[in-house]
Every structure is written in C-alpha cells, then in structure tokens.
C-alpha cells in the first residue's frame, strides 16, 4: 500500500513538522545579513543623505503643461536663469514636466516663469507654480516625525497588552529594522522623500507588524504550557511556529508585491508617472523587508530574550538531559497520520 505523504504540499509538511527549516538556530546568519544592509543604509545616509522634497525643505515647483518637453531641455532652460541651488526635473506622463528648485525670491521666480514661457512657447496660464516656504516645510517634517513616533508608541502599548512585553520589543525592533533599511535604500537610489513616502513608511510599518503578529500568535500557541510539559525548548517550539506560518507569510507578501511592482515598474517606469514612484518604491522595499524581518529577525530575537529566563534555562537542561524530544510531539496537533494501515494499529485481544 503506497503512502500519500509524498503527495502532501510543502505547507502541510511544514505545519506537521515532517519538514523543518532551522530558522531560529541560524539566527546569526540572519543577523549578519541585516547588519550588512543596515551598514550600507547607514553609510548612504551619512555620505549621501536623503533627497528631501520641497514639501520638507521648502522651494518652488513649476509644472509645464505641454507634451514633448525633454527633461534635459527643461533643466538647461532653468539653469540658464542663474538661480542658486540644484534643479530637479521630472516627467509626469507624456504631457507634463515638473521642475523643482530651492527657495527663490519673487524676482527669481518670475525669471524662471518667463524663461519657461519663452523656451516652450506656452502661455503663463499653462505653468502651475507652487512656492513653499522653509517654515512650512519644517512644520511638515515635525508632523511626519510625530506621526512615526506616535505610531510606534501606540503599537508598543497594544502588543504589550495583547501578547507580552518581550514580544512587543521584538516586533518594534523588526519595524525599526524595516524602516531604517527602506530609508537607507532611498538614500542609495536618490529618490525624493515626499509626504507620499511618509505614507508609504506608515503603511509598511503596519504591514510588518501584521505579519509579525501572525507569527507571534502561533509562537504563543505553541509555547503556552511549554515549561510544564517539558517536551521541547522554547527555541524549538518557536521554530516550529515559524515553519507553520512561513508559507502563508510568503504567499501573502507575493500577492501584495505584485500590484505594487506594477505601479513602480509600469506606472513610474514605462508610463512616466513620476509622482507614483515615491509611494511605490517605499511600499515595494518595505513589503519585502517586512516579510524578511517577520520570519528571520523578530522570532529569533524573541527566542533569544526568552531563552535567558531562568524557567527556560531549566527547561533546556531537562530537554537536553533526555536527549531532546521531537518538537512535533510537543506542539503539533494530534490527528491520525495519513497512510497508516490497519496493520499499524494496536492489536485487540479477541474473545475466548
């Protein structure tokens, strides 16, 4: 009689413990990968810095509503006016081009408008001008930081009440890990940080926490009475929990990344919708990094914290003294194993 175990999917075999990836045990590898990404991000922030949009640092924006204008042509026209600072030019679709400059006086702004009208033969009404003062930009920056820190504070309180303080600490560490790497990649590629980028940061923080909470809920279920049963260590039970949720996390992330990738590569890349790339890049990077941290960073860090508790140290000694019982026996759901025939069942005594 052939067994049906070979027909079962990877997710089912990971859930029952037939197959397992040693994610918790290889925590140093994951920490090393994250350390490299963090160092690259830190270096980019220190040497290149973030390219802040005019919404944060103040400046002037001129949107010319005419098709066929090349980016380099628009840049040369504005630079020829002799205005100080750099010039950022973006294509918005096929019929618009946006030019951003630093803070300008009224005379300098009028000079830029006149140069654009003359160079591209458009009426002044076809140029949308937006001037943002430095004080308003500082206020926007302050509110963005308040939003980020307020979000983290509320999440810490919620997780500490729902789960436990150490789970809250591990989840917040994963979120900070995700945001820092995303910000570092922004510094590497030189994309502008705009209010849309901040919205993207808040979105990826929420997604990262959602994915981490799903994993932690399974960890809590598997380790609920682990000290009393003494069948496996905390790290072993947490590793099984990660394996039981890894397929779900990856599938969910892929489904979420597909539309974001279409916005980033098709909308911003092929169609020239430059206003979309600020949001889509932060979402794309954040979703990918958030999935990584919820599987490879948060659970191992939580296991490291819990393994230092006296009860968990004593539990590990008892398990090691017995030679280490199988993890599945400790936390896997009890149900009949597929493919087991009558010959494998205990024999019953017949009547005399």
Q: Strands of the chain (E only): list them.
A: 51-52, 59-65, 88-92, 96-101, 127-132, 192-193
Backbone dihedral angles phi then psi of residue 128, each to the nearest 5 degrees? -90, 115
In the chain, which stretches have pLDDT less than 70? 1-8, 11, 85, 93, 134, 136-137, 266-276, 278, 323-352
Q: State which CATH number among 3.30.70.3220, 3.30.413.10, 3.40.50.12590, 2.40.50.140 fits the domain covering 59-132.
A: 3.30.70.3220
**Which pLDDT tens digit goes with each residue over 214-256?**
899 899 888 888 877 778 889 999 999 999 888 888 888 888 8
Query: DSSP of 268-325, one letter per residue?
Result: IIIS-BHHHHHHHHHHHHHHHHHHHHHHHTHHHHHHHHHTTSHHHHHHHHHHHHTT--
**Encoding tokens for residue 273?**
């919708």
Q: What fold does the segment set 25-52+136-311 form as a domain?
A: Multidrug efflux transporter AcrB transmembrane fold (1.20.1640)
The pLDDT value recorded for residue 24 is 93
For position 349, what pLDDT does the model report? 46
So what's the pLDDT on residue 156? Answer: 76
Other CB atoms closer than 10 Å to residue 344's CB: what's the count?
8
- Backbone φ and ψ of 60, nearest 5°: -125, 145
DSSP-derived letter for residue 126 is: G
What are the domain boundaries of the chain?
25-52+136-311, 59-132
What is the structure's pLDDT at 271?
A: 53
Task: Name the 3-class secondary structure at 193.
Answer: strand
pTM for the whole structure:
0.73
Shortest CA distance to 122 belongs to which of 77, 59, 84, 72?
A: 77
Check residue 332 and give its pLDDT. Answer: 42
* The domains spanning 25-52+136-311 and 59-132 adopt the same CATH topology: no
Contact 315, 234 (CB under 8 A): yes
Checking phi first, is residue 133 left (phi over 0); if not, alpha (psi -120 to 50) or beta? beta
Residue 203 burial (C-beta neighbours within 10 Å; 0-12, 13-18, 19+): middle
Residue-level pLDDT at 342: 43
Tokens 């009689």 locate to 1
Closest among 294, 293, 318 to 236, alpha carbons compared: 318
């Amino acid at each position: 009689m052939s067994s049906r175990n070979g027909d079962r999917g990877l997710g089912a075999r990971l859930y029952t413990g037939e197959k397992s990836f040693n994610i918790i045990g290889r925590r140093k590898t994951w920490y090393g990968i994250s350390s490299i990404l963090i160092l690259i991000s830190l270096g980019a922030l220190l040497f290149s810095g973030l390219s802040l949009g005019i919404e944060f640092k103040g400046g002037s924006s001129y949107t010319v509503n005419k098709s066929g204008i090349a980016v380099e042509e628009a840049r040369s026209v504005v630079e020829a006016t002799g205005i100080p600072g750099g010039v950022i030019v973006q294509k918005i679709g096929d019929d618009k081009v946006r030019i951003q400059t630093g803070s300008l006086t009224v005379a300098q702004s009028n000079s830029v408008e006149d140069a654009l009208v003359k160079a591209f033969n458009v009426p002044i009404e076809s140029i949308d001008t937006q001037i943002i003062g430095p004080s308003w930009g500082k206020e926007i920056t302050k509110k963005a930081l308040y939003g980020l820190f307020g979000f983290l504070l509320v999440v810490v309180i919620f997780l500490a009440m729902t789960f436990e303080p150490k789970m809250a600490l591990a989840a917040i560490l994963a979120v900070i890990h995700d945001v820092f790497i995303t910000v570092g990649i922004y510094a590497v590629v030189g994309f502008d940080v705009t209010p849309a980028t901040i919205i993207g940061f808040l979105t990826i923080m929420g997604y990262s926490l959602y994915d981490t909470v799903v994993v932690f809920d399974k960890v809590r279920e598997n380790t609920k009475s682990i000290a009393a049963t003494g069948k496996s260590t905390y790290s072993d039970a947490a590793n099984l929990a990660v394996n039981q949720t890894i397929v779900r996390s990856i599938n969910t992330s892929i489904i979420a990344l597909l539309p974001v990738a279409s916005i980033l590569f098709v909308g911003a890349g092929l169609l020239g919708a430059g206003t979309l790339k600020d949001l889509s890049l932060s979402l794309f990077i954040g979703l990918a990094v958030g999935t990584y941290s919820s599987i490879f960073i948060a659970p191992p860090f939580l296991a490291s914290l819990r393994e230092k508790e006296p009860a968990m140290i004593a539990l590990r000694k008892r398990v090691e003294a017995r030679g280490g019982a199988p993890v599945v026996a400790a936390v896997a759901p009890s149900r009949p194993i597929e493919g087991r025939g009558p010959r494998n069942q205990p024999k019953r005594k017949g009547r005399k």
